[in-house]
């Protein structure tokens, strides 16, 4: 019997679900969903990525972390792996760092995947 493959899943969309909760993501980054999916596959992540608003992330951050402000990325392990990103924070961080918003989105998806793997900073 051969050991199971350690290769990332096929790019068929089955392992990663992208939820565009704030349609403004597509105005900032055309094909934001495809960029997030590619970054998740590159990081070996399976689960859900939510492209949300600052308000959505602020509410979740206050409820689960006691911080009443938006943050760039939140991760949840249960009931299933989930990464939630805040549009306005991603946009302002990208501008402050001189990055393209699409590149910063990909970076933060990988960052979130590392958190889901137990990495911390």
pTM of the complete model: 0.86
Q: Say how far apart CA 29 and CA 81 lie, in whole Å.
A: 24
29 Cβ partners below 8 Å, 6+ apart? 35, 101, 102, 105
Name all domains of the chain by residue range, CATH numbers in brackets.
Answer: 16-116 (3.40.390.30)
Q: Average pLDDT over the chain, rounded to whole?
A: 89
Residue 106: exposure state from Cβ atoms within 10 A (0-12, 13-18, ≥19): buried
pLDDT of residue 7: 40
- The Cβ of residue 5 has, within 10 Å, a number of other Cβ atoms equal to 7
Query: Is the separation of the CB atoms in 83 and 19 below 8 Å?
Result: no
- Give the pLDDT confidence of 44-102 residue by residue, as tens digits: 999 999 999 999 999 999 999 999 999 999 999 988 899 999 999 999 999 999 999 99
């Amino acid at each position: 019997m051969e050991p199971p493959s350690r290769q990332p899943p096929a790019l068929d969309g089955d392992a990663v679900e992208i939820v565009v909760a704030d349609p403004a993501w597509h105005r900032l980054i055309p094909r934001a969903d495809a960029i997030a999916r590619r970054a998740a596959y590159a990081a070996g992540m399976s689960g859900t990525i939510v492209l949300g608003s600052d308000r959505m992330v602020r509410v979740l951050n206050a409820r689960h972390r006691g911080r009443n402000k938006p943050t760039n990325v939140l991760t949840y392990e249960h009931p299933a792996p989930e990464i939630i990103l805040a549009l306005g924070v991603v946009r302002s961080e990208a501008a402050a760092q001189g990055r393209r918003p699409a590149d910063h989105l990909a970076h933060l998806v990988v960052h979130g995947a590392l958190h889901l793997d137990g990495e911390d900073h």
